[in-house]
Chains A and B, each alone.
Chain A
Amino acid sequence: MFRNYLQIALRTLKKQPGYAFINVFGLAVGMAAFFMISLFLSEELSYDRHFEGIDNVHRWAIEGSFQTGPVNSAASSSGWGPGLTENVPEVEAVVRMKPPNQMWLVSKDDLKFLEKGFVFVDSTVFDVFSFELITGTEDALRAPFSLVITESMAGKYFGNQDPMGQVLRLDNQYDFTVTGVIRDAEGPSHFKGDFLASFTTLQTPIYGPGFLDNHFNFAVYTYLRLRPGVDPDLVQEKADAFLDQTIGAQMAAAGADINSLFQPVTSIHLQSQLDGEILPGGSMTTVWALSAIALFILVIACINYMNLATARSAQRSREVGIRKTMGAERNQLVYQFLGESLVLSLVSMILAVIVVYLFLPAFNTAAGTDLSLLSGGLLSAIGIFVGIAVLCGVAAGSYPALFLSRFQPATVLKGSPVGAASGGALRRALVVFQFAISIILIVATVVVFRQLNFTRDLDLGFDREQVIVVQLTDPNIRNEYKQFRDRVRELPSVASVSASSGAPGFLLQNIPAFPEGGSADDSYLVQSFVTDFDFVETLGIDLIAGRDLDRDRLADTLGVFLINETAAAEFGWTPEEAVNRPLSILPGGAPFQGQIAGVVKDFHAESLHDPISPTIISIFNEQAYFYALIRTRAGQTRDAIEAVERIWSDLYPEYIYQYSFLEDDVNALYASDLQLGRLFGGFSFLTILIACLGLFGLASFTAERRVKEIGVRKVMGANTSEIVLLLARDFTKFVGAAFLVASPLAWIGMNRWLDSFQYRVDFGIGVLIVVGLGVLFVALITVGYQTIKASLANPVDALKYE
């Protein structure tokens, strides 16, 4: 019986290669897209889940405000964690983590690498995160300067040697002894933990004295493992009470009000968007959008199958009639047709594996991921593929199966045209649905790219081109900064040099500021750039009032500020009024008073998702300069990079020369938007391709079915163009209806997305109309061939037939 069905299925495919191609190819592409997206999603959703019992682990972040600005920070202070656990029995274990500000230089003899994954952690880290120790004990991180490394780091630095007891040097000065080796993480995590160094090391003032129990440094990340069954809200309240008690008074004095925010660790990667996240997170928007796309592509491919199968029902109805007269029961026919669609979807599945194999690299490029066919494991890959194949086979086959098996033999064998006309309404609805989805996806793609172009072309208030950013990662490097700067400035390829505590695209710092006569009650949270001279010139920021900071004025080295327009406006001054006004800032513990020298035009140091913050620019000593900014002369960037490298290796032979282009750093702010745009673009192209394939198939059946009508019309005197119009009208109606369904959805959805930007493009009705016309055009081209062929046919042949 099964062999019989299989044979019919395969022969049907062979006899109608066009039909088979449309279905198999469409389904294969749909399945491949679905598989790639599910690989991506399962990776995004798996962050931190490989740690055992991670559901009970929360990160202690803070939310609240200074007097005018909100504060939402992932970081907490180093004194809090140990303080809280003493009093709160619900907390089973606590660990503090201090990741590097930028990167640490790790070396063993001549092997030197800049490492992002070098973190200081309490010895309790093993109680909170289930790192698996291969060698060493859970006490491995008690003593200062002890270090636990992953297997792959052991391989990287020590090759085949036993790493235990060996020494790794940090930053050319601190020697750590390896006391343990852990297995590489089984999954991705919101932090990078390649090297776990003992937290007690920090009693040595690497990050300044008194770091270990400082209550105000907001420099570490604190993780709490709660006892099973404990309500996190309850502990959060206790944490708030603890903060009130320990730092409440000082905070209030500084006009600040902060509260604890407990975040489940598993939610951090996708949902947490606080200041000072350790690594850039993923985006829930992308996760949702891609889930929807994956589903839609598959549904659209299945719809193709359903539509074509029911459209072909006129041909299949006779077979149904014969089989019924030969004793087939209805359910046997249902199985037969389901079997056919399963065969088809299994064939598609095999093709889909090949498609994934070929296109995964492109997907990885677009999504910025590193997925492979088997990155979810062989079993899950097989499971997903077979699962989709069976699901598609059944889903796509069930309607045609029920529809076809319903035919009554007495009717169909008489030759009346059953089926051709029936089922048409559903078919039309499904086609409209396909096109509606296509229109939505295309509109989304267009809008995302328009916004990205807008971002790229917008005047950011500074000139991002031709600026090299060199990272000054170490105090020793910064000590020599002036020498470095003076030598770089001499280079013929360099136009200007400056340095700064922060740069656009990098972590920025906020501090409280008090304008003229201000008190603690009148503080503003401002973004602070601590810079060298020539900052404004190097970045190409416009000065609109007052003067730039001047290296020839001795007073300018301390206590003279530039502010931006927004700051002036917030302080209640016009730019001109602001000049020469006194202003106090609170950079560390003590307030510091100075005077405003000039006002610069607003510039976007952060992503356009964020509004421009009030900003102050001031000079301080070289230890504050984390980035050297070098503006090169046009066309000489290459020369400049090489020349700077020569100076670097001369001055800092111990350290690695690391530079980036400011333009890239700024664009990196939109990495997740760009990822979304690329994925939308690729998949909406696939969606419309599959939808058009289906339409092509449907058009050929429609034309076939209407051959007689066309013949009659031609005999009555209709010419070819009138016939083409007649046939095209139907499909135009489909696209029109799809447009009406899709427009409001696309409009609402994309406006919501655009609203996440403070600076956004206008999304006019024009985009909708252009996309609608574009889709109509593509649809008409698709059906055009069939239509013209049908209308050119000789009417005599058509009428002879039947």
Chain B
Amino acid sequence: MIQLNGISKSYLHGFNRTFILRNINLRVDEGEFVSIMGPSGSGKSTLLHILGMLDEPSSGEYLFLDQPVHRISERKRTDLHRQYIGFVFQAYHLIDDLTVYENLETPLLYKKVKTAQRKSMVAEMLDRFNMVAKADLFPSQLSGGQQQLVGVARALIMQPKLILADEPTGNLHTSQGEVVMDWFRRLNKEDGVTIIQVTHSDHWASYSDRVIEIEDGRIEKDSAPTASPQPLAE
């Protein structure tokens, strides 16, 4: 699904070039659940942004479903991203001025989904996440865990093939975090959604099948998680 060949990202600082990513080669297949780990500033978020087409690499090739992302037009890239990729953020990043319902609806609006279909898709998602009663609340009226669930639901509503999550549990209590991670694992196993998450913690990494460790912009290690996987809550 994803193939990175020699991806680098750098900024010019005066006369010095600062590298954030150096020569990243990575392949992720459909249906994988990958964690990216590393210390602060190691470049993991940048890598995630490049994967999500929110940022562009300075050099290298990026193939997404065999399409050369580094060479196609912005519009086409937006199309790819709309169709296949959902995002979940550490800070949830819901739109404060919209209700839960409207937040879920927004990606569908951009995808130009018809009204009737949009309504049923939002209703289904609310149902699935047990949030029907909260549909008319604003994000500020929800707890962090609930907000993040809205964030996950919003990412899912586009029925993406790939979910990119930037420390999705970083702002949550452990119990709330587990609810979110359970959802990820269920989506991965039952719906075959590919998930790539950035995390600091071995505990959260243990939910995934594969852990990539980054340091100083380089991939240091690519292996199975060290901690034992959590049992799937039913």
Least Cβ–Cβ distance between A205 and chain B, in angstroms:
84
Compute the total of residue contacts between A and B using a CB distance below 8 Å: 61
* Closest residue on chain A to residue B110 by CB atoms: A327
Q: Specify which chain A residues have a CB less than 8 angstroms from the CB of B109 in the assembled complex.
A: 1, 4
Q: Is A671 engaged at the interface, CB distance under 8 Å to the other chain? A: no
- Chain B: number of interface residues, binned into ranges: 20 to 34
- Whether, in the assembled complex, A800 has its beta carbon less than 8 Å from a beta carbon of chain B, the answer is no
Cα A12 to Cα B94 in complex, Å, equals 15
- Report the Cα distance A1→B93, complex, angstroms: 20
Instruction: Kindly provide the distance from the CB of B141 to the nearest chain A CB, expressed in whole angstroms.
Output: 14
Q: How far, in whole Å, are A319 and B45 apart by their CA atoms in the complex?
A: 19
Residue from the list B54, B94, B96, B158 in contact with A324, Cβ < 8 A: B54
Contacts of A329 in B (CB 8 A): 75, 78, 110
The answer to whether A327 and B158 touch across the interface, beta carbons within 8 angstroms, is yes
Cα of A415 to Cα of B95 in the assembled complex, Å: 15
- Whether B204 sits at the interface, judged by CB under 8 Å, is no
CB proximity to B under 8 Å, residues A396-439: 408-410, 413-415
Q: In the complex, what distance in Å separates the CA atom of A11 from the CA atom of B89?
A: 24
Task: Say yes or no: is B6 at the interface (Cβ < 8 Å to chain A).
Answer: no
A414 to B95, CA, bound (A): 16
Q: What residues of B have a CB within 8 angstroms of the CB of A413 in the complex? A: 54, 89, 91, 93
**In the complex, A326 has a CB within 8 A of chain B:** yes
Q: A318-B93, A413-B93 are in contact. Are A325 and B55 (CB under 8 A)?
A: no
CB-based contact A4/B93 at 8 Å:
no
Complex: how many Å from CA A246 to CA B83? 92
Does B38 reach chain A (CB closer than 8 Å)?
A: no
**Cβ contact within 8 Å between B52 and A325:** yes
Interface string of B65-86 (1 = CB under 8 A from A): 0000000000100100110000
Given A4-B102, A12-B97, A410-B49, answer yes or no on A328-B54 (Cβ-Cβ < 8 Å).
no
B5 lies within 8 A of chain A by Cβ: no
Q: Does A15 contact B (CB under 8 A)?
A: yes
Contacts A7-B102, A326-B154, A327-B158; is A408 near B55 (CB within 8 Å)?
yes
Confirm or deny: A321 has a beta carbon within 8 angstroms of a beta carbon on chain B.
yes
Evaluate contact between A8 and B97: CB separation under 8 angstroms.
Answer: yes
- Is there an interface contact between A326 and B107, defined as CB atoms closer than 8 Å? yes
Q: At the interface, is chain A mostly helix, strand, loop or mixed?
A: helix
Residues of the B chain whose Cβ atoms lie less than 8 Å from the Cβ of A322: 93-95
**Which residues in A have their C-beta under 8 angstroms from that of B52?**
325
Contact A326/B106 with A413-B89, A413-B93 known, Cβ cut-off 8 Å: yes
Distance in Å from the Cβ of A471 to the closest Cβ of chain B? 70
- Report A-chain residues with C-beta under 8 Å of the C-beta of B2: none
CB B7 to nearest CB in A, in angstroms, measures 15
Cβ proximity bits B143-171 to A, threshold 8 Å, 1 near / 0 not: 00000000000100010000000000000
In the docked arrangement, what's the CA distance between A415 and B93, Å?
11
**CB of A713 within 8 A of chain B?**
no
Check if A7 sits within 8 Å of B93, measured CB to CB. no
- In the complex with contacts A318-B93, A326-B106, A329-B75, A410-B54 CB distance below 8 A: yes
Q: Are B158 and A15 in contact (CB under 8 A)?
A: no
B111 at the interface (CB under 8 A from A): yes
Contacts of A324 in B (CB 8 A): 54
Instruction: Tell me the minimal C-beta distance from A335 to chain B in angstroms.
Output: 12
The answer to whether A4 and B106 have CB atoms under 8 Å apart is yes
Tell me the bound Cα distance from A12 to B52 in angstroms.
Answer: 29
Q: Is B98 an interface position by the 8 A CB rule?
A: yes
Cα(A450)–Cα(B110), bound, Å? 61
Check A323 for interface membership: any CB of B closer than 8 A.
Answer: yes
Chain A residue numbers with a CB within 8 Å of B87 are: 325-326
- Check B95–A319 contact: CB distance below 8 A: yes
- In this complex, the member of B45, B87, B97, B158 whose beta carbon has the largest number of chain A beta carbons within 10 angstroms is B97
Tell me, rounded to whole Å, the shortest Cβ–Cβ distance linking A314 to chain B. 14
Q: Which residues of A contact B49 (CB under 8 A)?
A: 410
Tell me which residues from 1 to 21 in chain A have a Cβ below 8 Å from any Cβ of chain B.
1, 4, 7-8, 11-12, 15
Q: Are A410 and B89 in contact (CB under 8 A)?
A: no
Evaluate contact between B154 and A410: CB separation under 8 angstroms.
no
A204 at the interface (CB under 8 A from B): no
B residues in contact with A321, CB < 8 Å: 93
Residues of A within 8 Å of B106, CB to CB, are 4, 323, 326
Does A332 sit within 8 A of B, measured CB to CB? yes
Name the residue of chain B whose CB is nearest to the CB of A329.
B78
Chain A CB within 8 A of B105 CB = yes
Task: State which residues 105-150 of B face A: CB under 8 Å.
Answer: 105-107, 109-111
The smallest C-beta distance from A343 to any residue of chain B, in angstroms, reads 13
Known: A325-B54, A327-B158, A413-B89. A332 touches B110 (CB 8 A): yes
Write the chain B residue with the least CB distance to A415.
Answer: B91
Asked if A4 meets B78 with Cβ closer than 8 Å, knowing A322-B93, A327-B110, A410-B49, the reply is no
Q: In chain A between 323 and 353, which residues have their CB closer than 8 angstroms to a CB of chain B?
A: 323-329, 332
A322 to B89, CA, bound (A): 10
Find chain A residues with CB under 8 A from B94 CB: 322
Known: A321-B93, A325-B87. A7 touches B75 (CB 8 A): no
Q: Residues of A contacting B75 with CB < 8 Å?
A: 329
Interchain CB contact (< 8 A) of B45 among A1, A7, A332, A414: A414
Other-chain contact of B55, A11, A328, A410 (Cβ < 8 Å): A410
> CA A1 – CA B89 in complex, angstroms?
24
**C-alpha spacing A11/B105, complex, angstroms:** 17
Could you list 20 examples of A-B contacts with CB < 8 Å? Answer: A1-B109, A4-B105, A7-B97, A8-B97, A8-B98, A321-B93, A322-B95, A323-B110, A324-B54, A325-B52, A325-B87, A326-B87, A326-B106, A326-B110, A326-B154, A327-B158, A329-B75, A409-B54, A410-B54, A413-B54
Query: Which residues of B pack against A, CB within 8 Å?
Result: 45-46, 49, 52, 54-55, 75, 78, 81-82, 87, 89, 91, 93-98, 102, 105-107, 109-111, 154, 158
